[in-house]
Structure 1
């Protein structure tokens, strides 16, 4: 079995390598190719990856290349974890929207749209190269904004599934609080990528006892603190929202905070410098503790589980993924991409039924899906007017003066990445 990781020079990658090594019985990889245009980073990450495999006794071979075509040739699955423009572009996404009083964030709002415009054309080009190399290969997308990118891939006819680590993070958190195995925790996870709610936490599967009321009663303070929302919000809703919902539920508060501190991109850039120095140490043969602060917790375990199911039918039969709606949420089009529990096997991902949603959640999901429709149109076809309409449709913007100003800012900060400018 051969896997390729495009964006393999990311400082995330040792987390992925550690998972591949530990879970090799679930996903027996014979060859792993790390693909990245940044040759200097790639060499450092590749060296550490080989040492991790060697320490844990993994027999697989790890190679590196800057050539996408060579890297994906013959691959059974390709994982996408790229960041077009790097942390410098992310830093812009997180700062210029604040000038208009709008949240600066890399996956939602104006910054999220900028990332989608930079990313979708690049991902589609890579996907075409994968299809030419092996039309049966699966593409697993971890590249943000996952919902928009996955829809672009599916719409273009690629064998693709989107993946996020939010659900597995909640699963692990709840399992620890309940003192049970993570595999015993079934989440009623529903929404769009980075716009999800946990409506139930059941033991043993979808028909098990719902322990969410108990979790909120006994651990509401700590859960609220993790999400940086008032405990009263969780109690009134009776659900656990993803931490990305804070951008919607406390938008103005978040903007005030972001204006008073360095961007997350600046923090991550500094962390990456330290990580790359560590990766260059020839005695380091495990992922460093600092990596846990970089983000992407449990990403490797989710990726292994998904790849194993798609390639061998050997992973968990039900997983939280991003895939076509296909009637699951009746108020959305079939080709909208949603993030829910799905049955996953070698034929792909099929969403499981979802009980009727409260209008409080359905309305926001519908609104953001409309934005994502317009965002994808802008990413695929370009044009200032398409960018403006997408921004105007976003619930975190929604005013024409802001949309006009943000359109100008987005284009000004992303000219080198937009072929139509």
Structure 2
């Protein structure tokens, strides 16, 4: 592998490029007209403009990206996360054009991208799933019948969706009647597929995911779990590894289930199996992310592994350089997503960054997509950086996190740094006893 085109932008494009350069691999960046001045463009060996600011005309333009790969002489494509990273059509086209796709096989992306199919595959593999519909529901009548069978409250979800888009928690058939058509419309608008499905609503759940890694020789390992329950609008805000509350037995069973899930679909590369964990520590398969996760640095901090480097190696056909017994977790790591947004209402805050001063020190890592003077536009996800802090244990990681976030400065736009500082001082977070409704309770000041 001599030259990799990174089909992404911002922080993750910059992070992937760092590992590529460290391995002597050339980097090709693709960018929209709105991103011309961002660091990931300036730091690349080559950069190709692929269109105007709107994602449909640039970062989701498959043909423009493939043309950039051909014209630059790249021999591999890394999709990063978000955008086209879990688009099976893109993965297939990359391979058809003769490039290495740094990710799983397109068929795997396809199967895991449809939540109804993914549920069925996991059930067949013996991985616990939330009670729900066997297939999708196309009509309100079907949905009402399935909801009665499952039992209220239920969650109505888009089969092809993610990020909480079109998701509804429903307590009665009356609520289902009100929500069904809008959920179906949003699913069609966002994902091009109106198929919905229902699951039993799990009260007070925790969101715990397991990092998996597999090569093309059949070797599959887990790299421990991450706690992702601090969320706003079903989008993660804080992640930590290891989970601060689950028992050793639950942890072991989660890891086993994740490896079983990856093997069941013939997974290769880095991926994540996500679970809901109820208050009694019963856990259920939620979805599989067939890509690198935003929060992968938390795993890197406790294992000492470079997940991007391992992705590159696996994509090149190499065998994993270790087995499960050789993977060790040392200490504790917490990742804070720094968003350009109002910290209370969660509304984007575009504008020019006049000051951007990141913390430094032992156990502190900042992956940033911006620098002072850069413009944050309204076209893309508002995350501008990630602050990852590690310590020998969770107590030290918390202490270092308070110091790091106190010195993190962003001016010219609003950011969610005040929210992170509030989270760090909250008794429930300090104890590690929180669920996915944590931020909702903070906002209500309960």
Fold conserved (TM > 0.5)?
no
With structure 2 as the length reference, what TM-score do the two structures score? 0.29
Considering fraction of residues, name the structure with more helix. Answer: 1
With structure 1 as the length reference, what TM-score do the two structures score? 0.30
Considering fraction of residues, name the structure with more strand. Answer: 2
